[in-house]
Amino acid sequence: MTSAAIYGCHGHRLTAEEKAFFSDVRPWGFILFRRNVDSPDHLRALTAELRDSIDNPDAPILIDQEGGRVQRMGPPHWPKYPPGDAFLKATNDPLAARELARLGGRLMAHELKDVGINVDCVPVLDVPVPGAHDIIGDRAYARDPATVAQLGRAAAEGLLAGGVLPVIKHMPGHGRAFADTHKELPTVHADLETLDGWDFAPFKALSDMPIGMTAHIVFTAIDRKHPATQSRKAIRMIRERLGFNGLLLSDDLCMNALSGTLTERAEKSLKAGCDLVIHWTGNLDEMRQVAEGTGKLKGGAKRRAEAALARIVHTPEPLDYREARDRFDTALAGRMDAARGPDVAEA
């Protein structure tokens, strides 16, 4: 049976120990990071090896390929993409910005599918407020919920058209956090009406998407004690108030925003209502700890996982890649420098 987890791996190829572990615990899928990325041929070999390890040729393989600071596949083998806010900056026409965002998603899907990756942790639907921590920053498409929703949907539709599933993140909203969840647990004190009209709005607008990812943030208006990832109240709100019926992933369990052992973190996240947990470091001892707190994928979670994978288009929308790439680069000329910056470890 499949376990309710997504794991990373250490390097460019699997070790014998990793193969044995994955074969034993049979995770739902895998997630790749920059440490795993070499040439296209090496990446194809790795994705095939990951699927072989659990004897599932259709296993989901995820990556954070946003553009800007969060781009795991990049030069010299793949082109650089701009951060989310570049589309609106490139044109004064909102419709043109939407077309660019969709085109970017379609191009990314082409490149990901070519190396065996079928899930991209995009779009970022967080709406930053003044003074918030810049961990989101230029990753956000805009500074208002309506535009974020429009451009986020365009990017997601581009991915879907190319045969790659999008992941909306970070539910129910990371834009009001004044700390980096990689390092500490942020607390948001906004009232529910404010959250509903601003932070929740893009997620409600894209509630039809197949997969979502939680935020490791305490929202005092929802649950004063637990971050959303581990809060039954927050997960219930995501399901009911935000209307999201898709597959719900935890953000990475290793982030310092969470406390307790990795086994406890996995248990708490799944008991709260996450369908799957993510562990990204590729550390085998840590993965064994996560596995101890991770049960089988079953019931509603299993049905949602199956429904998500059913959304993959196996015959992608036709694309003249070279022409589309030239068109995309021309439209964003002068904005690509915005893509420079330090890599974000986990999105």
31-58 per-position pLDDT tens digit:
999 999 999 999 999 999 999 999 999 9
Report pLDDT for 94.
87
Which residue is associated with the tokens 């052992």? 261
Which residues, in sequence order, are CB contacts of 152 under 8 Å at separation 6+? 101, 123, 124, 125, 141, 168, 202, 206
Measured in degrees and rounded to the nearest 5, phi and psi for residue 239 equal -75, -45
* pLDDT interval class at 340 (50, 70, 90): very low
Q: Using an 8 Å Cβ cutoff, are 247 and 185 in contact?
A: no
**Number of C-beta neighbours around residue 16 at 10 A:** 7
- Residue-by-residue DSSP string for 193-250: HHHHHTTSHHHHHTTTSSEEEE---EETTT-SSS-GGG-HHHHHHHHHTS---SEEEE
Q: What's the rounded Cα separation, in Å, for the pair 112 and 120? A: 8
When the pLDDT of each residue in the chain is averaged and rounded to a whole number, the result is 95
Query: What's the rounded mean pLDDT across residues 333-343?
Result: 50
Instruction: For 76-88, write each residue's pLDDT tens digit.
Output: 999 999 999 999 9
Least confident of 117-121, 149-153, 180-184: 180-184
Letter string b/e over residues 75-107, b meaning 16 or more CB atoms within 10 A of that residue's CB? eeebbebbbbbbbbbbbeeeeebbbbbbbbbbb
| Residue range 149-171, pLDDT digits in tens | 999 999 999 999 999 999 999 99
Confidence of residue 346 (pLDDT cuts 50, 70, 90): very low
Please, what is the end-to-end C-alpha distance for the chain in angstroms? 28
Whether pLDDT at 322 is above 70? yes
pTM: 0.95
pLDDT value at residue 193: 97
In the chain, where does DSSP find H-type helix? 16-25, 40-53, 86-89, 94-114, 145-161, 192-197, 201-205, 232-240, 262-272, 284-292, 299-309, 321-331
What integer pLDDT is reported at residue 335 of this predicted model? 53
Whether the Cβ atoms of residue 139 and residue 70 lie closer than 8 Å to each other: yes
Pairing of strands 187-188, 119-120: unpaired
Confidence at residue 344, expressed as pLDDT on a 0 to 100 scale? 53
Question: 179: pLDDT confidence band, cut at 50, 70 and 90?
Answer: confident
CB 262 within 8 A of CB 253: yes
Is the pLDDT score of 333 beyond 90? no
Residue 9 pLDDT: 98
Instruction: Tell me the pLDDT tens digit for each residue of 207-256.
Output: 999 999 999 999 999 999 999 999 999 999 999 999 999 999 999 999 99
* pLDDT tier for residue 345 given thresholds of 50, 70 and 90: low
In degrees and rounded to multiples of 5, residue 28 shows phi and psi of -65, -35
Q: Please name which of 68, 188, 221, 58 lies closest in space to residue 140, comparing C-alpha atoms.
A: 68
Catalytic residues: 182, 251
Contact 157, 209 (CB under 8 A): no
**Around 154, how many Cα atoms within 13 Å sit in the side-chain half-sphere?**
21
Say what the pLDDT of residue 339 is. 42
Tell me what pLDDT residue 23 has: 98
Mean pLDDT value across residues 291-303: 98
Distance between CA 166 and CA 152 in Å, rounded?
10
Give the pLDDT confidence score for residue 37 in this predicted structure: 97
